[in-house]
Amino acid sequence: MIKIGLGYDLHALEKGRPLILGGVVIPFDKGEKGHSDGDVLLHAITDALLGAAGLSDIGELFPPSQEQWKGADSSLLLQKAWQLVTDHGWTLDNIDCVIAIEKPKILPFRKEIISRIAEILQCRDDQIFVKAKTGEKLGEIGREEAVCVWAVCLLSKE
């Protein structure tokens, strides 16, 4: 059995916050606003994996109303969610992601981001792919007010 999953997330960008994508801190003067560390890429991946398995979603598992998730390391949230998914017998085929962000350029950090995600999910680097697009100066992405991510994944089970 194979199942596809889709995850999406958007966070506002704010001066003085760290920009964290896929567990990697990227030097920039703005970062994601959020209850947790704001890692929009890991949030989208978490939702894609949970969605493929039909288990839950990030908001249900880790409610922003609960104080324990304030400033939480999103890699730990992803690890917990992935544990739940693998406990149900699923294995990962691949994940592909698009990050929409006007600045900075993500390409120089791509390998590091891929390796970090693979490390969190205990899979190979070639099972993960990440690419970035600008907003062509249009809308909230183009105005550097937000960053958003779409992630798809494929899971299989015997």
Chain positions contacting Mg ion, by CB under 5 A: 9, 43
Closest separation in Å from C-beta 92 to Mg ion: 21
Q: Closer to Mg ion by CB, 87 or 120: give it.
A: 120
Listed residue (87, 97, 109) closest to 45, CA to CA: 97
- Return d(Cα 139, Cα 136) in angstroms, integer: 9
The residue at minimum Cβ distance from Mg ion is 43
Choose between 43 and 110: whose C-beta lies nearer to Mg ion. 43
Displacement of CA 30 from its chain's centroid (Å): 18
Which CB sits closer to Mg ion, 74 or 126? 74
Query: CB of residue 11 vs Mg ion: minimum separation in angstroms?
Result: 6
CA distances to 21, 49, 50, 73, 157 from 87, in Å: 26, 13, 12, 22, 11
Sign, CA dihedral 27-33-36-42, equals negative
| Amino acid occupying residue 37 | D
Closest distance of CB 32 from Mg ion, Å: 8
CB of 148 to Mg ion, least distance (A): 10
Residue the block writes with tokens 């969610």: 81
Report the residue number, 32 or 144, with the smaller CB distance to Mg ion. 32
